Amino acid sequence: MAICGTFHKLRPLSLLTHLAGCYDSTHLTVSSNSVSWSIYLEQGKITYASHSVDPFDRLDCHLRRLGYQIPTLANETRGRLRLLFETDPENNSIENADYQAICWLVNQQYINSVQGAGLIDGLVKEVIESFLLVKEGTYEFKDKLNTLPNFCNLELQPIVEHSQKRLQSWQALGPQIWSPYQRPYFVNQSRMEWQILPEVQRRLSAILKGFSFRHLAILLNQDELQLAQSLYPYIVDGTILLDSPQAPFDQLPKTFDKLIDSNSSELVYQDERRTIIDNTDKIALEAKIPHPAKLPNIPTRTPETFPITLPIKTTSEQKATSSRGELATTTTNKKIYKIVCVDDSPTILNEITRFLDDESFSVFPIKESIKALMQIVRLKPDLILLDVNMAGIDGYELCRLLRNHSFFKNIPIIMVTGNTGIIDRVKARFVGASGYLTKPFTQSDLLKMVFRHLS
């Protein structure tokens, strides 16, 4: 029988500790603002946890990390997973869809049970990290139904300790950084003092557009907290600015907030811990974040990541190499990606061209689908964006024709459409589409899709 209630002040840690101490088996749901958390416990141990803010984006991020060690978790596999299990947020017909997706990966032997347990451990830690920030809302205890297999039974204490340490590290970066989903971008690259190759700096500058710390860290195969700590001094001195999180990630609780509670055993945020001197980057924090000159290299695990090397040269060394750096910038053969966009709407073509307005891309808009095939064959682009509903030849037919051409067997083709039904997505896969972008989309959505298929 379900037990429910309302709380004006919640202590998530106390609640979890009580449940673990009672060795209960239950499904706890907590709703705060527009976000709900689900935590499943089996005899006091956590078997899974999720929250309602784009669970498949969260799962996809963890699968991409795991994919560096497991080749079977390629884009095609993750795309198929979404087609099978991702549901419309307004019509969530599949219960525990993200967990069922993990079960499917294990059953289909894309990953083994040990890897599945490790995947769940990472997901639970991320969810508990946000859950510890909840302050008020409603709760409900439901009977736990054993309809799905358990891959792991996680002890509460290590998970909470891990989450608290990370929250304390995030809090030390406040008030500038108050969410892992804030989006950094360069405002003045001439002030950057990083010792990195011009080509790498250019690529990093392009990829920063529209991506949060968390999503950018996935692309770079790095930890988002370490990435934020490394960028922090440049955020303080104004070289890098931060945009607020995009929807729906703006619904999640902030990692930095004004709250002083001397009686609380949980994480406490205090603005007063921070001292800013003369509005410079001389900042005293209890976390003792080092000056950029003392920052270690951001660890990378594969050659495909972008090698950001942070230690700064001395002033004399910078002057000695500045002319060589300028020369390298002008003589380096930059990779310019050719992107063809086919859509019978001039508004959409202009919007996509504006979103991809960067030196990394050369965009070729095509309005008439009948003429598109020959123009695409002549241009031989690196990526193709196809509208689905067009007069003459629709996007599905054009995609099928392109896939029959030897040159376009492996070129990424992204279907761009307002259709959100599962049948449309399956049809896109059937004709050989690499991805599916739903209108309306943001610049971040478009760039994420483009870099995912060009990387």
List 240's β-bridge partners, or say none.
186
Say how far apart CA 197 and CA 209 lie, in whole Å: 19
CA distances from 37 to 141, 187, 215, 310 (A): 12, 36, 21, 38
For 117-126, write each residue's pLDDT tens digit. 999 999 999 9
Q: How far apart are CA 185 and CA 187, in angstroms?
A: 6
Does a cis peptide bond (omega within 30 degrees of 0) precede residue 440?
Answer: yes
CA angle 366, 355, 54 (to 5 degrees): 115
In the structure encoding, which two tokens stand for residue 121, read together?
């451990």
Buried b (16+ CB within 10 A) or exposed e, 181-217: bbbbebeeeeeeebebbbeebbbbbbbbbbbbbbbbb
Average pLDDT over residues 194-199: 47
Q: Classify residue 303 by burial, with Cβ atoms within 10 Å: 0-12, 13-18, 19+.
A: exposed
pLDDT confidence of 181, banded at 50, 70, 90? very high
| More confident position, 165 or 441 | 165
**Mean pLDDT of the chain, nearest integer:** 75
Instruction: Tell me the CA distances in angstroms from 253 to 137, 192, 283, 304, 450, one per residue in order.
Output: 12, 31, 25, 33, 29
Kindly state the helix (H) or strand (E) to which residue 275 belongs, with its residue range: strand 275-276
3-state secondary structure at position 46:
strand
Lowest mean pLDDT among 13-27, 34-48, 50-64, 127-141: 13-27
Does residue 34 register a pLDDT over 70?
yes
Inform me whether the pLDDT recorded for 366 exceeds 80. Answer: yes
DSSP string over 352-388: HHHHT-STTEEEEEE--HHHHHHHHHHH--SEEEEES
Res. 81: pLDDT tops 60: yes
pLDDT in the model for residue 173: 95
Least confident of 136-145, 171-180, 227-236: 136-145
Share of the chain above pLDDT 70, in %: 72
Structure tokens at 438: 């739903």
**Higher-confidence position of 77 and 129:** 129
- The tokens describing 14, both together, are 């106390």
Higher pLDDT, 269 or 425: 425
How many other CB atoms are found less than 10 A from the CB of residue 13?
A: 19
Nearest C-alpha neighbor of 245 from the set 207, 216, 274, 271: 216
pLDDT value at residue 385? 94
pLDDT for the residue numbered 55: 92
Provide the pLDDT for residue 342: 92
CATH 2.40.50.140 fits domain 337-454: no
Sequence ranges of the domains in the chain: 3-163, 172-331, 337-454
In terms of pLDDT, which residue wins out, 143 or 259?
A: 143
Of 220-229, 366-375, 377-386, the one with minimum mean pLDDT is 366-375
Tokens of 311: 């230690």
The pLDDT score that the predictor gives to residue 289 is: 35
Which of residues 441 and 281 earns the better pLDDT score? 441
pLDDT in tens, 86-111: 765 544 556 788 999 999 999 999 99
Task: Give the residue from 233, 262, 223 showing the smallest Cα distance to 129.
Answer: 223
Distance, in Å, from the CA atom of 131 to the CA atom of 146, rounded to the nearest integer, reads 24
Between CA 384 and CA 454 the distance in angstroms is 11
Confidence category of residue 2, pLDDT binned at 50, 70, 90? low
When pLDDT is averaged across residues 212-224 and rounded to a whole number, the result is 87
Tokens encoding 80: 């198929």
12-21 and 156-171 helices, crossing angle to 10° = 170
Q: What's the confidence (pLDDT) of residue 403?
A: 85
290 pLDDT above the threshold of 60: no
pLDDT of residue 283: 30
Mean pLDDT of the 265-290 span: 33
pTM of the entire structure? 0.59
Cβ-based neighbours of 303, under 8 Å, separated by 6 or more: none
Name which residue leads in pLDDT, 135 or 311.
135
Tell me, what's the pLDDT at 374?
A: 81
The predicted pLDDT at position 265 comes to 36
Can you list the pairs that 443-448 forms with residues at least 24 positions away whose Cβ atoms lie under 8 Å? 443/209, 443/210, 443/355, 444/183, 444/209, 444/210, 444/211, 444/246, 446/352, 446/355, 446/356, 447/207, 447/209, 447/210, 447/211, 447/355, 447/356, 448/210, 448/211, 448/215
**Considering all CA atoms of the chain, what is the largest pairwise distance in Å, rounded to the nearest integer?**
74
Residue 166 has pLDDT above 80, yes or no: yes
* CA 304 – CA 302 distance, rounded (Å): 5
pLDDT value for 26:
84
Least confident piece of the model among 183-192, 199-208, 323-332: 323-332
pLDDT at 315 > cutoff 60: no
Residue 210: left (phi > 0), alpha (psi -120 to 50), or beta? Answer: left
Rounded to an integer, the average pLDDT of 318-340 is 53
Q: Which long-range contacts (CB under 8 A, 24 or more apart) does 294-301 make?
A: 295/229, 295/230, 295/233, 298/220, 298/222, 298/226, 298/227, 298/230, 299/222, 299/223, 299/226, 300/220, 300/221, 300/222, 301/68, 301/221
Q: What pLDDT was estimated at residue 435?
A: 87
